Amino acid sequence: MRKLNFHPCGNYKERYEQEITLFETDFGRLWSGIGIFSLFAILPFIVSPYFLHVLNMVGIASIAAIGLNILIGYTGQISLGHGAFIGVGAYAAAILATTLNVPFIITLPMAGLISAMVGMIFGIPSGRLKGLYLTIATLAGQIIIEYVLVHWETLTKGTMGITLPRPNIFGMELESDLSFFFLIFSCLVVMIWFAVNLIRTKYGRAFIAIRDNDRAAEGMGIPLFRYKLLSFGISSFYAGFAGAIWAYYMVSITSEPFTLGLSVEYIAMVIIGGLGSVSGSIYGAVFITFLNELLRWLTGIMMNIGVLTESGLNVAPLREFFFGTAIVLFILFEPRGLAEVWRIIRSNFKLWPFAY
Amino acid sequence: MNFFLQLFINGISIGFLYGLSAMGFVMIFKSSSVLNFAHGELLALGAFFFLAMVTWVKLPVVLAFLATLAACFILGFIIERFFLRPLIGEPLIYVIMLTVGLASMFKGFMLLFWGGNLQTYPDFLPAFLGIEWHVINIPPVYTAALIIGIMFLILFGLFFKYSSQGIFMRSVADNQKAALSLGVHVQRVFALSWAIAALVAGMSGIVLGIINGINVHDLSAIGLKVFPVVILGGLDSIGGAIIGGLIIGLLETFTGGYISPSLSDVVPYVILVIILMVKPYGLFGLEEIERV
Amino acid sequence: MTDTTILEINNISVVYSDVIQVLKGVSLVVKKKSITSLIGSNGAGKTTTLKAISGLLKPENGRVTDGTISYDGAAIQNHAPEVITRKGIIQVLEGRQPFKYLTVEENLIVGTAIRWRQPYKKDLEMVYNYFPAIVRRRKMLAGYCSGGELQMIVMGRALMAHPALLLLDEPSLGLAPMVVREIFEIIKKINAEQETSIVLVEQNANMALQISDYGYVMENGKIVMEGAARNLVENPDIKEFYLGMGASGVLKSYDDVKSYRRRKRWL
């Protein structure tokens, strides 16, 4: 058996492979193995149905958030159109499934690809624009897509929405939250695996180079436009994929959720989780989804005791307020997000009791 | 023809309001290069504060107006001091997202207090401001908006052109480092520009509130409309903001009148994308003079 | 510290971004009403020294980590530029940074930022007296002025603040020799008439030493030589490496290939 790797007490890296290795120690490997095992074999069977539903939402949000993090956190292109791309994926899946009767197993990646194409179209401005101007262009993209989703009635059925058939994998029908749980989280694991490895390749390094200094990256021979488009494409693929799963999970969709608010929610996830960190995207998705649920619960209680009567009929204002506050607080006090918080906690433990 | 004329007038009036709303936005960008996504919420805050002053405190209209302006001024100052100043030197996304976060915060706050329903001010504008001539019919609010707007434009024009503080503000926008080397209080300039911008926003909010009624969602949507306006006019040109506003206003009413009312909401953004692709610095923006 | 000293830098170190050490123990003294020049090659740390004095290190993420800078007897290291400029130290930045979209006169008015709300008409006149060349450009955007005019604008802008200590960073950069001479004459005149102490950072060692009283030579973040300007001009090493002459004092020719073998004695 090969020698086990433990945490070295210093930087003993000799080769680049050691620098980019996924698991620095064999404990990391062990722990992620245990984590995946308990995620699939234990967790879904011990939690309540409600909590299972929340977990599913977390899973879907995580997929989309990882996509956005590739674009914002790794490539440095700020996009306010992620919500719309999720919507494109959801509608693509719905239309493929209802009008063309495409089987479930194909609609998911197809929806991702369609969304990726749309994303690349709206990424074209990145060839000429950067920073603020690109952000504004994606804002316009968001609003235009939103408009198309509502008003192209022959295709999207407008405000009526579309009802999807039950997904079917090789004759197996997915209908319970539990079966969706397995679907969503296997997809998530694959997506994480892909994202983590993408960052270690030539493409990922090019993205990071573009983020850190696009002029220098261009000088090093990275074709900026192509890579930016690629990043938009990959990011929207994730969004579209997540949107498609979401559409199936929700059974019927309308264009209502895919607003600018959703885009902002996803950017909030990425920032709160930690820019430029795949695991951060997941923390962010967990945080925001749980915050959502917590606030729903809180408004429920407050309505019952009568604090909120007329204005508190829905959860929106509170949610809006706490979202904003969370974003602002994180940016002001821990701009590197939960991933950084977690890293600090971990290294404190590692060094304890000699924390320095 | 009458229809055309009425549309034209409507377009100009709406466009002028857009321009007015965009002015504050441009001011912030010009001095501190911050893209303020919370601008619509600042408009709404101004409108609601005025509402509270008029209906709850029952101040006379003029006093309420002044009190609102003062409150907005202070609010702008506070925003800069406590939220944006710590971010000086941080990457763009944090600054953008901070204003996005502030936008949600304000919006949620207003929804909690005033709810999402449409509210209106009591009628206080004198009727003689209304203009009726042949087929043209301009309601008093539009005239009032025009007068207030032009007044502010001239006031700010004079301020930036002739007062020392105005010149300092422009110097910071122009070359921050050089301004710093001459002892210009850069942070004070940032704070001042936020304060002034919030003041202008509050004022535009009141005017918009008089015309369309006060609704959080509508007013914050105006905050997004500001983007096509300022991109069209050039992000750093106050005059451009007004002209961009007029163009967008006309476009909107004409598409609404001749093609389809629902399309009028999205046309500004299509224009926005086109402008960004063709002429990113807008019609009146200053192209970066790069001297090596 | 005697009362003829306006500025005393005592063994300062400057570090950028907490990693890059640029100054490694620089000490220098500036006498009241004198012109002190600071010469050295690119990257020697001259500009950094000026920025350490004027407080402009801060926006560039630099910091004085060690040593003291005292001005009129009070320590000013790591103070904010707004504070330092109000004490009368004004730096003229390297590479002429005018406010491009302001007119020439507005550029000058920005110079009054440290005493805002006080009349400045007289000062405008004073500046126009020193720099008659920019009078006819008063209403023009500064972005469209020539290099020499820009240098005059930025110097005039600094003069508007009535500095007690003026820090000039490479006023001759990229200017024609005639314009350089004109500018240096004006510097001399300002020093004589306004009794402004001047610290002059220059690549053009010859011109700088001609008008200065005292000179420092910097290399690799250290002061390697100092002395009265007229002594420095005579120094064989200075002649060799900064004035472009052979050690004997005659202009060096490229035929004289051996000369590069001469070692800098302070290294």
Q: CB-based contacts of A164: which residues, under 8 Å, 6+ apart?
A: A93, A94, A97, A98, A247, A248, A251, A252, A253
Tokens of residue A242, six digits? 């997540």
Give SS3 for C167: strand
Tokens of residue A17, six digits? 């492979």
Q: Which residues of chain C have pLDDT under 70?
A: 1-3, 244-267
What CA–CA distance (Å, rounded) separates C213 from C33? 10
Q: CB-based contacts of A166: which residues, under 8 Å, 6+ apart?
A: A173, A174, A175
Strands (E), B90-152: 131-133, 136-138
Q: Report the C-alpha dihedral over residues C238, C244, C247, C248, rounded to 10 degrees.
A: -130
From the list C97, C114, C116, the residue facing B175 with the nearest CB is C97
Q: Report the C-alpha dihedral over residues A84, A86, A87, A89, rounded to 10 degrees.
A: 130
Report chain C residues whose CB lies below 8 A from the CB of B285.
Answer: none
What CA–CA distance (Å, rounded) separates A36 from C88? 66
What CA–CA distance (Å, rounded) separates B261 from B249? 13
In this structure, the number of other CB atoms found within 10 A of the CB of residue C253 comes to: 9
Report chain C residues whose CB lies below 8 A from the CB of B166.
Answer: none
Kindly state the helix (H) or strand (E) to which residue B229 belongs, with its residue range.
Answer: helix B216-233
From the list A137, A151, A264, the residue facing B104 with the nearest CB is A264
Express each pLDDT in A116-133 by its tens digit. Answer: 999 999 888 887 777 788
Q: Report the C-alpha dihedral over residues A55, A57, A60, A63, rounded to 10 degrees.
A: -70
Those chains having 3 or more beta-carbon pairs within 8 angstroms of chain C are B
Domain locations in chain C? 5-94+162-234
Q: What is the pLDDT of residue A11?
A: 66
Least confident of A4-18, A208-222, B252-266: A4-18
The answer to whether the beta carbons of residues B270 and B286 sit under 8 Å apart is no
The answer to whether the beta carbons of residues C124 and C134 sit under 8 Å apart is no
Give SS3 for C166: strand
Strand partners, C10: C68
Strand partners, A162: A253
Q: Higher pLDDT residue, B173 or B136? A: B173
In this structure, the number of other CB atoms found within 10 A of the CB of residue B125 comes to: 15
Provide the percentage of residues in chain A whose pLDDT is more than 70.
Answer: 88
Tokens of residue A24, six digits? 């620095």
What CA–CA distance (Å, rounded) separates B253 from B10? 7
Residue C138, class by beta-carbon neighbours within 10 Å (0-12 exposed, 13-18 middle, 19+ buried)? middle
From the list B167, B181, B184, the residue facing C106 with the nearest CB is B167
Interface residue ranges in chain B relative to chain C, Cβ cutoff 8 Å:
89, 164-165, 167-168, 170-171, 174-186, 286, 289, 291
Counting one residue from chain B and one from chain C, the pairs whose CB atoms sit within 8 A come to 85
The answer to whether the beta carbons of residues B200 and B151 sit under 8 Å apart is no
Q: C146 to chain B: nearest residue by CA?
A: B291
User: In terms of DSSP H, where are the helices of chain A?
Assistant: 16-20, 26-37, 43-46, 49-69, 82-99, 104-123, 132-151, 153-156, 177-200, 202-212, 214-219, 224-250, 260-273, 278-305, 316-333, 337-351
The answer to whether the beta carbons of residues C199 and C167 sit under 8 Å apart is yes
Average pLDDT of every residue of chain A: 84
Express each pLDDT in A48-64 by its tens digit. Answer: 888 899 999 999 999 99
A302 touches chain B (CB under 8 A): no
Task: Inspect the interface and report whether the beta carbons of B168 and C113 lie closer than 8 Å.
Answer: yes
Average pLDDT of every residue of chain B: 83
Testing the interface with B: which of A128, A213, A309, A331 to mutate, by most B Cβ within 10 A?
A331
Those chains having 3 or more beta-carbon pairs within 8 angstroms of chain B are A, C
Express each pLDDT in B153-191 by its tens digit. Answer: 888 888 888 888 888 888 888 888 888 888 888 888 889
Kindly state the helix (H) or strand (E) to which residue B8 belongs, with its residue range.
Answer: helix B2-32
Phi, psi of B40 (to 5 degrees): -60, -35
Provide the percentage of residues in chain B whose pLDDT is more than 70.
Answer: 91
The answer to whether the beta carbons of residues B227 and B220 sit under 8 Å apart is no
Is residue A279 over pLDDT 70?
A: yes
Task: Inspect the interface and report whether the beta carbons of A332 and B272 lie closer than 8 Å.
Answer: no
Q: What is the value of pTM for the model shown?
A: 0.80
B109 touches chain A (CB under 8 A): yes
Phi, psi of B116 (to 5 degrees): -95, 5
Task: Inspect the interface and report whether the beta carbons of A328 and B102 lie closer than 8 Å.
Answer: yes
Tokens of residue B188, six digits? 């004070």
In this structure, the number of other CB atoms found within 10 A of the CB of residue B190 comes to: 24
Task: Inspect the interface and report whether the beta carbons of B101 and A324 lie closer than 8 Å.
Answer: yes
The answer to whether the beta carbons of residues C8 and C52 sit under 8 Å apart is no
Q: CB-based contacts of B171: which residues, under 8 Å, 6+ apart?
A: B178, B179, B182, B184, C99, C102, C106, C107, C110
Provide the percentage of residues in chain A whose pLDDT is more than 90.
Answer: 30
End-to-end, the C-alpha distance of chain B in Å comes to 54
Tokens of residue C254, six digits? 């490229």
DSSP structural state of residue C142: G
Q: What is the pLDDT of residue A259?
A: 86
Is residue A65 over pLDDT 90?
A: yes
What CA–CA distance (Å, rounded) separates B226 from B208? 14
Residue A135's Cβ-side half-sphere holds a number of Cα atoms within 13 Å equal to 21
Phi, psi of A43 (to 5 degrees): -50, -55
Task: Say if C and A touch: at least 3 Cβ pairs within 8 Å.
Answer: no
Testing the interface with B: which of A118, A126, A136 to mutate, by most B Cβ within 10 A?
A136
Express each pLDDT in A228-243 by its tens digit. Answer: 999 999 999 999 999 9
Q: What is the pLDDT of residue C43?
A: 82
Q: What is the pLDDT of residue C231?
A: 87
Task: Inspect the interface and report whether the beta carbons of B35 and A132 lie closer than 8 Å.
Answer: yes
Provide the percentage of residues in chain B whose pLDDT is more than 90.
Answer: 11
Express each pLDDT in A293-337 by its tens digit. Answer: 888 887 777 777 765 555 445 667 777 888 889 889 998 888 888
Only one residue has tokens 């940032």, namely B190
Q: Which CATH architecture has domain A47-351?
A: Orthogonal Bundle (1.10)
Report chain C residues whose CB lies below 8 A from the CB of B281.
Answer: none
Q: Which CATH class is domain C5-94+162-234?
A: alpha beta
From the list C59, C98, C143, the residue facing B180 with the nearest CB is C59
- State the Rg of chain B over Cα: 19
Report chain A residues whose CB lies below 8 A from the CB of B101.
Answer: 268, 323-328, 331
Q: Higher pLDDT residue, C245 or A91? A: A91
3-state secondary structure chain C: CCCCEEEEEEEEEEEECCCEEEEEEEEEEEECCCEEEEEECCCCCHHHHHHHHHCCCHHHCEEEEEEEEEECCEECCCCCHHHHHHCCEEEECCCCCCCCCCEHHHHHHHHHHHHCCCCCHHHHHHHHHHCHHHHHHCCCEHHHCCHHHHHHHHHHHHHCCCCCEEEEECCCCCCCHHHHHHHHHHHHHHHHHHCCEEEEEECCHHHHHHHCCEEEEEECCEEEEEEEHHHHHHCHHHHHHCCCECCCCCECCCCCHHHHHCCCCCC
Give SS3 for B198: helix
Express each pLDDT in A243-255 by its tens digit. Answer: 999 999 988 888 8
Q: Which CATH class is domain B2-278?
A: mainly alpha
B94 touches chain A (CB under 8 A): yes
Residue C185, class by beta-carbon neighbours within 10 Å (0-12 exposed, 13-18 middle, 19+ buried)? exposed
- B25-44: burial string, b at 16+ Cβ within 10 Å, e else: bbbbbbbbbbbbbbbbbbbb
- Which of the four pLDDT bands, split at 50, 70 and 90, describes residue A87? very high
Residue B291's Cβ-side half-sphere holds a number of Cα atoms within 13 Å equal to 14
Cα B62 versus chain centre, distance: 21
What CA–CA distance (Å, rounded) separates B49 from B54? 9
The answer to whether the beta carbons of residues C34 and B161 sit under 8 Å apart is no
Only one residue has tokens 């989280």, namely A185
Testing the interface with C: which of B182, B184, B287, B288 to mutate, by most C Cβ within 10 A?
B182
Q: What is the pLDDT of residue C261?
A: 47
Task: Inspect the interface and report whether the beta carbons of C116 and B182 lie closer than 8 Å.
Answer: no
- Which of the four pLDDT bands, split at 50, 70 and 90, describes residue B61? confident
Express each pLDDT in B214-268 by its tens digit. Answer: 888 888 888 888 888 888 887 777 778 888 888 898 988 899 888 888 888 888 8
Q: What is the pLDDT of residue B208?
A: 85
Kindly state the helix (H) or strand (E) to which residue C129 belongs, with its residue range.
Answer: helix C121-130
